[in-house]
Structure formats: C-alpha cells, structure tokens
Amino acid sequence: MDTREFAERFLMNLAFDPTGQQMSLIAALSRYCTIPDRVGSVFILNGYAGTGKTSVVGAMVRTLREAGAPVVLLAPTGRAAKVFSAAAGVPAWTIHRRIYRMPSAGLAGATSVLNVNRVPGTVFIVDEASMIGDHESEAAGSLFHDLLEHVFTGAPGCRLIFLGDTAQLPPVGCETSPAMDAAAFRRLGIKVSRAVVTQTVRQGAGSGILLNATRIRRLIGHPDRDLRPSFRLSDDVSAVEGNELIDVLSDAYSADGVDATILITRSNRMATAANLAIRSSVFFSEEELVRGERLMISKNNYLWSESVKGLDFIANGDIATVVAIHSTESLHGFRFADVTLNFPDRDVDVDCKVMLDTLTSESASLEPSRLAQLWMERATALGTDSMRTLKRDPWCNALQIKYAYAVTCHKSQGGQWKNVFVDTSGLSAPPEGSSPVELYRWLYTAFTRATAHLYLVNPPEESIE
C-alpha cells in the first residue's frame, strides 16, 4: 500500500471530520508508516489534552491492520494500557510485560531478561510516552533504552511511534522524558520525525475541564513570570470546601462507583491522610483491611503471579480489590495478611501475602533499610544466606500495597476517571524549592485525568474567577 492509498484509508477509518492540524498529522503518519527509509526511525507525536491524538491513532491502527502490518500497542502502566486499548479497539500491553521476561530459573525478584522481538515489520505504538524515564527498569538498563533495543535489534523492518504530552509531569527525577525528546534519539543515531497538535477538539468547545487545562498549559510557556493559576467554574468544574468533601465524594461514589472516582494529592503523606479519612468517614471501615477494599500495588512483584495464567508479574501501580482475607500475622516487627486479590484490568484472582505496614507509610513503598532488615531477619529464621531461597520466601516477597482512593499525581498518570477531585489547597504558597512550571505541570496533569467532572478541593479564594 503506497502513501496515498494509506492516507485515503486512514481518513475512511476516522469517525469524525479532521481539523486542519489533524489532516497534517494524518499525512505525516501516513508517510512514516509507508516510506521504506522510515524503517528503524521513530515518530514523536506531542498532542495536548483534547486534541484527538488518540482517536487519530486509533484510526491509524485500523488502517495498519487492514494493510496487514503487525501492530503492538504499549503503555507504561496497566491503567494507561487499558485506556489506550479502549480507544484503539485492540489489546494493549504494558511496556514491561511486552519487553521483559523472567529468567528460566523463575526466581522471584530476579533481574528481568529482555525479550527478543521476533516479528518483522511491526509498528510499535507507545501511549503516555511522557511517563517513560531513563532509570525506571528493574532490568539492568533503563526502560527507555531497553525499549529501543527490543524494537530495533530483533526482527527487521520495525517502526516506533511515541504518543505523549510534554505539558504533563515528567518522570520522577527527570526534567523531561527522553521518549519525547528528539535530541535524545539523535544522540543515539536514530532518525526522528515529529508532529505537534495543539488545537483542542475533545469534550466540546464548552468543556470547563478542557478550558481550565488549556489555560494552565499556556502558563507553562512563561516559566520566568510569577503567574498564579486561576480557575473558572462551570457545569463540569466545581469548587469543594474541605468540610463538604466527604459528602461530595460519597455522592460521586454512589452515582458512578468507587472505581470511577479518584482524589489526587500533592504528596504520599497527604494521600495517606486522605485515604484514612475516606475509609473512616465514607465507608466506615474500622478494620485495617476489609473485603471490597481497593488497593494499589506500590512495587513490582514476580512471585505471586507464577501460578496465574496470563499474569506474568504484578506491576507497580496495578489496582486490585480484596476478595477475601484469610489470616493476619506479625513477624519480625512487620505485619502481614494472606488474602485473595482480584485484578480487574486482567480479570484474575491471585492468592498472595501482603504487607500491611505499607498501607499507611508516608513513603511510596517500603524504605530500603526496612526491606533489608526483613530480609536479614528471614535469612536468620531460615538459617540460610542463599539469595535463591530468600527470593522465593513469601514474607520477603509480600506484596507492598496502598489504599487506592487517593493517590499522588504521578501515580494517577496514564489513568482517566469520570470524577477527579484535585487538592488545590496551598496554591498561594507552593512547596519550598518548587518552581512555577512544576506547579503548572502538576495541575495540568491532574486536571486532564477527568473525563466528566473536575472538583477543585479547597482552592484559594483568589484563584476562583
């Protein structure tokens, strides 16, 4: 199929009339997917919220499949993969699950091994690419470089498309994401094609969510000016005072379900406090863990998925629901529970041991010193110094979990919820050491998680127009 025919079919697969920017994007993607000298290169698509980039890419996926080209959809997290799959109409993988495998020995916690790509002519498409950092992999190298190696050093004739939004938060510890930085590819000798779409079309011209997100995004272009964000309320954007939060949250849960609602906070400490308040005041939960509890996994785990078909590992950021609690225990100064968890994104149940200490910890996961302490205690109890034995020990490999009613903004990336509550308190005095651009990116990322209603929790009075 030549470029002209591909573009014509591309347009036929589009469910709406494209804007001028989208027409230019379709032409650029059609050239990239059909011209032979684009093999082995990457295409970076930077699209702001509401520009329809995912819908355009969904039409491109259908066109590629009609042309007989193998297509692999990827995303950094399970939630992002689920959103991407729904938009494109074909299954999507997390990057980790696609490019890594456990070594043949199957050691829990062992370093992952990079898979070899064996399908020639594949078009790899990675959504939420702005989340990809340079040192996120549990393998020896970085996730970014491992992905490039997987795509381009296996089967010949492959292409790689990154979709992202550079206005969102970059990966933790990074100023920018290398996957959205053309210079990062050029330094590696990889050719780059680029496109930027800024014209918003999603959620209608009257969307207050999109209006506020767009205004915040524009502030990012003025990093040297001390501009304070202001917000405009509308039918889909509301301000909520702290003393109203529990009632409004309860209404959202009743109307749309717990899984369609999220509260986004500025820190792990604030997320923990919010989770405890929600459990106590909304669900009246008195026990530390109850059936139906929504949990978020806070560290990758390889042990408990070994006997579960279709689940190669349990990823940091995966959401699970407690199906049953079988027992609890204290050991070596730590608390554990044996539970059955359901992972709705994969529709599987997993019997496992979880660590209760991490539920209310103010760190993202168990501190390294505490984890080392646990491993030393288990080594003493088992009378062994064998890492092979410890890597299969249920207590050493207990799932680290958090409550999942409130999360940090980084944890929310890649996800979408009908109702998003954003803690906007303290915007008059941003955290010490943070720049205005960091604040703007944080707000933009949080706002763009909402698909139906955005709630601003405790916004400064002067920020409301």
Average per-residue pLDDT in the chain? 89
Using alpha carbons, list the distances in angstroms from residue 24 to 18, 20, 195.
Answer: 9, 6, 9
Q: Which CATH class is domain 208-286+407-463?
A: alpha beta
The ranges assigned to domains in the chain are 3-197, 208-286+407-463, 294-403
- pLDDT of amino acid 226: 63
pLDDT in tens, 15-41: 888 989 999 999 999 999 999 989 999
**How would residue 224 be classed by pLDDT, with cut points 50, 70 and 90?**
low
Please report, rounded to a whole number, the percentage of residues in the chain having pLDDT higher than 90. Answer: 62
Domain 3-197, CATH homologous superfamily name and number:
P-loop containing nucleotide triphosphate hydrolases (3.40.50.300)
Residue 433's pLDDT band, with cuts at 50, 70 and 90, is low
pLDDT tens-digit map of 80-111:
888 888 888 888 988 988 898 765 444 444 45
Average pLDDT over residues 167-192: 89
Which CATH number fits the domain 294-403, given the four candidates 3.10.450, 2.30.30, 3.90.550, 2.60.40? 2.30.30
Does residue 449 carry a pLDDT above 80?
yes
Res. 290: pLDDT tops 50: yes
Are 208-286+407-463 and 294-403 in the same CATH fold?
Answer: no
